[in-house]
Amino acid sequence: MRIPGQILTCILGLWVWTGPVMAGGISTIIDGRKARTSISLPKPGGGDYEADFDLEFHNPVNLTPACLGISAEVLDAAAIASVQARLPDPANQIIDTAFPIKITVEPPAGCGLEFDDEVEIELDTADLVYTGFSPYRLMKAPIGASFRDITAAVTAGSVRSRGSSGTFSEFVMVLDPIQDYATEAQLAYDALDAQLISIAIGPTAKQTLQTDASISRSAFAVSDYAQAIARLDDLTGHCGALGGPTLPNRWRSLRDLQNIEGEIVSQSDHLKFLLGRLNGVP
Domain ranges of the chain: 7-175, 181-278
106: helix, coil or strand? coil
**225-243, pLDDT tens digit by residue?**
999 999 999 999 999 999 9
pTM comes to 0.90
Mean pLDDT of 97-122: 96
Mean pLDDT of 53-65: 96
Look at residue 49 and tell me whether its pLDDT is greater than 80. Answer: yes
**64 φ/ψ angles, rounded to the nearest 5 degrees:** -135, 160
- Residue 92's contacts (CB-CB under 8 Å, 6 or more residues apart) are 176, 177, 178
Q: What is the pLDDT of residue 255?
A: 95
| 23 — pLDDT class (breaks 50, 70, 90) | low
CA atoms within a 13 Å half-sphere pointing along the CA-CB vector of 251? 24
